[in-house]
Structure 1
Amino acid sequence: MYNYKFDIEKSKDNYNILKIYKNDKSIYMGSKYNMKNKIIDFINQFKECDDKSIFLIFGFGSGECIFELSQKFKNNKILIFEPNYNLIKYVQENISEFEFFNSSNNIELKYYNSSALEELKKSISVFDITKIKYGFLCNYEKVYMDRFTEFNNDVKNFLSDTVLYRNTSIVFARRWFDTLMGNLPEILTSSPIDILKGKYKDIPAVIVSAGPSLEKNIHELKNINDKMLVLSGGRTLKPLKDIDVSPDLLGIVDPGEIAYELVKEYIHSEESTLLFYEGTNEKVTKDYIGNKYIFTQSNFIREIFQMNISDMNLGGSVAHTLTGTAVLLGCNPIVFIGQDLAYLKEKRYGDIALTKFDKEKEITLGLVGGKALKVEGVNGELLDTNEELFNFKRGLENIIKNNSDVTFINATEGGALIKGTINMSLKEVISKYSLKDKGNYIKENNHSVDVNHMIDNTVVSLKNIIKSNKNIIAKSKEALKYIELIKSELRVYGKVKNNYYLNKMDEIDEDIKKSYKDLEVLSSLIYPVVYTILTGKKLSEYKDIIEKNEFLYKSVLAVSEYAMKKLECALEQINNMER
């Protein structure tokens, strides 16, 4: 915690200026002689901003720069992260001295500490991400060098994660809805992963990933003799089967066709247990003959099961899902192999994890997935990686950080350094931790849920969703009729003469909003439309506003009509399930 003492003095040109005392030295956060120029310099970095911009500022200073910013952008949100707790406390206790801050609901002063990233997530939505403007006050980058670097990394990581979420949500909008509808019959006959919570307390788990080093030590898994759990994704299933090892849990989370191609040769006779969720490729779940466990991101699914099923999508890859699952099961230690998170001779995957499908499609497996980066290796060297793999690394490190009572071991032969792990060879791990039989709880699959009752719940839910969706379709068509009448008035009179149409459209808006509030299953489908509307430019011309509304209702109508076919098909499938 930074608790530097300080004074607030007057500069030679009569502005308040903050003076910090650090290491027996005093440092002005600005200019003692010409503070006005420092304020101007601070404001000038925001020349390209508009009334939608959201300001993210490192440092409060004396408040003078923030005051000028708030005067120039009176209605904009300003988020200030101040690293000096003493200054935060002073502002709170002397709020009358900062009238601009006290009188505005748009300015937030937050203490910068380890939870700052969470504060950012609460304050800024995905729809605001393109509006963020970042700045820092004079000399803060020098006095609080470590904190300043951390803050920059926090902001970068927040932006990266949010943009990834946005892009993924837009790209997979329709696909996720399709997989949810297609997976419903399999979900109803599967067990929630939570029924295994703590069943494998202190049993070691090995998370098998497909990095280029995997071929160096995968053979060691033949020596675990039922003393450890083996958790695998789809890409590493074949390499494991090639050495006669069947994973205890096979995690599949990808909605794409490649998820099926990676495992299709094995799932008709596979003895392993499948872990999936509503976004998993539905061909995998339909053809998989082994036991199945689910996790979920959907409240719709939780309501069907009438229990709080965990979400194991913890960082973007199946390795994060499997790691989170191992924690839930109570496993300790948790061991990583093939988790390179970097490239070996421009290879992202090991040769043993490449498939015929990869080669036929001529997929480039070199340095793809965002801009090239360098990352520290386990042996201290610098390795090639990219943004995607670097984000995967951060995700794993967050899981490790949040589970300090679990020992995490990186038994990958090389690759990137994973903070919070112990580096050890797989052979050493097996020798040290293969102590007791792991048990067979996963395959016992004690399904504690009444399937017939869940089928009934699903039928009732789907009927209600279909009813609400029919209302949205009808109201969207009604709104489009009013828009045509308004456009006709604009063409003839140059203005809208009849407020009746506008009032009716307001009523329709409220009706549709109310219907969507209860339709969580359509959230992925409608996301691209909502994002386009909420991030668009502010419109002032009547013609532009009408065109935007026309786009909205046409888009909502198209989404709802597409969804209707899938919903009715899913309802028919559920009604025809064996009871």
Structure 2
Amino acid sequence: MGKSFVGNSSLDLLSERYPELVFLLNFSSSCEALPEEEFIPEFKAVEVLYIYGIGGSSAYPSLKKWVLEEKTRRVVFLEDSLSAIERFLSSTYSEQILQDSQMFLSYLEEPYAKKLEEIVSNYPLEHVFIQATKSYRRKPQFEQLCLQLLRITTVVHAGTTEILKAHHMLANLMRNISKWPHSFLANRFQGQFVNVPAIICGAGPSLLDAIEPLKNLQDRALILAGGSAITALSNQGITPHLNIAADPNFEEFERLKTASAYETPLIYATRVHPDIWNTCNGQMGYLVSDTGGICEKHFENLLGINHQAVGPDLGMEALSVTTLSLAFAAEMGCNPIVFIGVDLSYTGMQKYAEKVVSHSAIDPKMLQENTQASEKLLRRKNVKGELVYTTVKWIMESECIASFAKKHKSCRFINATSGLGFKDIENSSLEEVSMDWKPIDLHAAIHQKMQLYQLDLRFSEAIASEKEKLCSSILRLQEMTLRMLKITHQAFAQEVSIPTAKMTLLEFDFQEELALNALFPFLDSTLDRLLDPCEKRKRSDKEMLKHFLEKYTSWKEVLEHVIEQNLMG
């Protein structure tokens, strides 16, 4: 028989917002009344404040004042004890919290990951802070919960940002897709360098230690450099065999324009910032990598480029050009694969090797104040057993690489970097590991294969034709958006029940448009979720009308940007 909560108004509120919790409370163990725990929140420049322990509800007056300062702020109470939630229902501020649209309660069950993903998906904001009540801070799972929440926030925020900013990414994608007909298909390199050693170069401070031995290995190992490492190596007199670029931000151009490896073949992902073409004169290799989203896949299908993408088996936490370089080296059949300059920590309190940026020294105090989930500063032991500063994103990358190596047991992976290192990957020096490598004319082999695997110049006509179709479709989407906004305003004035028949038909036509499915397939559902996070109640007509207005206003802004910037041109 279930428990009786007769006469508890907080329970009614809980039932309205979190009906599944009321059901679970029927099976919780009985709890004794305890004094409310005093909790003093730390307020930082964050968008979401997570509090582990519903006992933190005692700070409601302070929390309320904080959230009222910005309507986008959220307080999320994380609780893994049903008994504690039951006690909360009789606490001083339970009613106010359960009625507050900026405060949320989430019950966690082991394993936490699935629930945390659900929570973060509703609040995919980058600047977060996690605090625990005094008693919960002592729980052994608290530290792991923090790291897990920060990692999930990093991935979900990156994914959501790409969906919401897809119209900005189009500026890169459309210009770079036009480069395909003049490129070779890098995926055709699959299995072409079996048992050829590969050196994956990062731009970490320890890269300088490997410069001299690296100069003696340019005819004995395939040297791959991505992003900042291209600049670091070329300015030290080393020309990589293959450069790899994938960063969509303008900083990629800023880094590459100071490099001197102009003639080195450049392997690129479609998302890369297109200004980089002004920094290089070598041959271009397009790499199918699934990093350009559905738009990239749409044009690949159109042109019959059906090669399996490089990189997805790295997992969702692989967010760097280093991990893409690793996947590409493995795809080519390289063995062993050696890492240099992949510090994944602030070695010697520096972020980059010399000659990458003018000032790369870091201030730990400033880093500790950074509330970006991916940049959260942590202390870990490096391969020498020394405590170093690292970040959430670097721990993610280290574990991604370690996991990838575990899946590819036929290949030997070696860390020749003095930084954070990788679990179960051996550590060695570049000199020791390369002693028996044989000379090979790698430049000639690469040149020959680039000529063999050129894409078709006739793709240009098909790409131009498809861009015209997408442009027409975008204009139709814009017209439908304006009609939807007009109908919504009229419904507001006439106080009619919605959705009306016109709205339903218009939404159906909207969803069928070519441009929506080829360029923005996830934007509509993402806007629906973010405009009404974690609310399962039935909404009134007025609330639904407000939802429609906000959603289609967002669509209007997206489509206006695409048209005004002539991104399909």
Structure 1 CA distance, aligned partners of 2:277 and 2:523? 22
2:277 match:
285
When residues 194 and 534 of structure 1 are mapped into structure 2, their CA distance, relative to the original with a 3 A threshold, is farther
RMSD: 4.5
Shift of 1:261: 2.0
Rg (Cα) greater in structure = 1
Count matched residues: 473
Match of 1:445 among 444, 450, 453: 450
Deviation readout 1:418-474 (Å, 9 max, x if unpaired): 213211111112213346554644333145465244234323432332233222111
- Identity rate, percent: 20
1:377 match:
382
Aligned letter for 1:423? N
Q: Is the 8 A contact 2:383 2:421 kept in 1?
A: yes
Q: Is the 8 A contact 2:255 2:356 kept in 1?
A: no
Deviation readout 1:312-331 (Å, 9 max, x if unpaired): 47512221111111111111
Match of 1:337 among 337, 340, 343: 340
Aligned letter for 2:263? E
Q: Which has the higher contact order (CA 8 A, sep 6+)?
A: 2
2:320 match:
317
The aligned runs of 1:170-181 (5 Å cut-off) are 170=164, 173-181=166-174
Deviation readout 1:116-155 (Å, 9 max, x if unpaired): 96x779988834768xx9x9xxxxx99xx8x999788656
Aligned letter for 1:381? E
Please tell me whether residue 126 in structure 1 is matched to residue 121 in structure 2.
yes
Larger mean Cα displacement after TM superposition, 272-281 or 291-300:
291-300
Match of 2:160 among 156, 162, 166: 166
When residues 483 and 225 of structure 1 are mapped into structure 2, their CA distance, relative to the original with a 3 A threshold, is closer
Q: Is the 8 A contact 2:240 2:264 kept in 1?
A: yes
Please tell me whether residue 430 in structure 1 is matched to residue 434 in structure 2.
yes
Q: Is the 8 A contact 1:177 1:525 kept in 2?
A: no
When residues 329 and 176 of structure 1 are mapped into structure 2, their CA distance, relative to the original with a 3 A threshold, is same
Structure 2 CA distance, aligned partners of 1:471 and 1:441? 49
Aligned letter for 1:430? S
1:215 match:
208
1:103 match:
none
TM-score between the two structures when normalised by the length of structure 1: 0.68
Shift of 1:403: 2.2
Shift of 1:507: 1.7
2:547 match:
548
Give unpaired runs (5+ residues) of structure 1: 1-33, 82-111, 136-140, 490-495, 571-579
Structure 1 CA distance, aligned partners of 2:211 and 2:144? 37
Q: Secondary structure at the match of 2:266?
A: strand
1:303 match:
301
When residues 54 and 338 of structure 1 are mapped into structure 2, their CA distance, relative to the original with a 3 A threshold, is same
When residues 365 and 165 of structure 1 are mapped into structure 2, their CA distance, relative to the original with a 3 A threshold, is farther
Q: Is the 8 A contact 1:371 1:386 kept in 2?
A: yes
Q: Is the 8 A contact 1:173 1:528 kept in 2?
A: no
Please tell me whether residue 480 in structure 1 is matched to residue 485 in structure 2.
yes
Write out the 4+ residue segments of structure 1 that deviate beyond 6 Å after TM superposition.
38-48, 53-59, 63-69, 76-79, 119-125, 147-152, 524-528
2:350 match:
347
Shift of 1:504: 1.0
Aligned letter for 1:260? F
Please tell me whether residue 328 in structure 1 is matched to residue 331 in structure 2.
yes
When residues 534 and 189 of structure 1 are mapped into structure 2, their CA distance, relative to the original with a 3 A threshold, is farther
The aligned runs of 1:68-467 (5 Å cut-off) are 81=110, 126-127=121-122, 157-167=151-161, 170=164, 173-266=166-259, 270-285=262-277, 288-295=280-287, 296-297=289-290, 298=293, 299-306=297-304, 307-312=306-311, 314=314, 315-354=318-357, 365-367=362-364, 368=367, 370-412=375-417, 414-434=418-438, 438=442, 440-443=444-447, 444-446=449-451, 448=453, 451-467=456-472
Q: Is the 8 A contact 1:212 1:348 kept in 2?
A: yes
Q: Secondary structure at the match of 1:279?
A: coil
Deviation readout 1:348-368 (Å, 9 max, x if unpaired): 1122332xxx55xxx875444
Q: Secondary structure at the match of 1:221?
A: helix
Structure 1 CA distance, aligned partners of 2:85 and 2:543? 35
Structure 2 CA distance, aligned partners of 1:350 and 1:265? 14
Shift of 1:206: 0.8
Q: Secondary structure at the match of 2:205?
A: coil
Q: Secondary structure at the match of 1:417?
A: coil
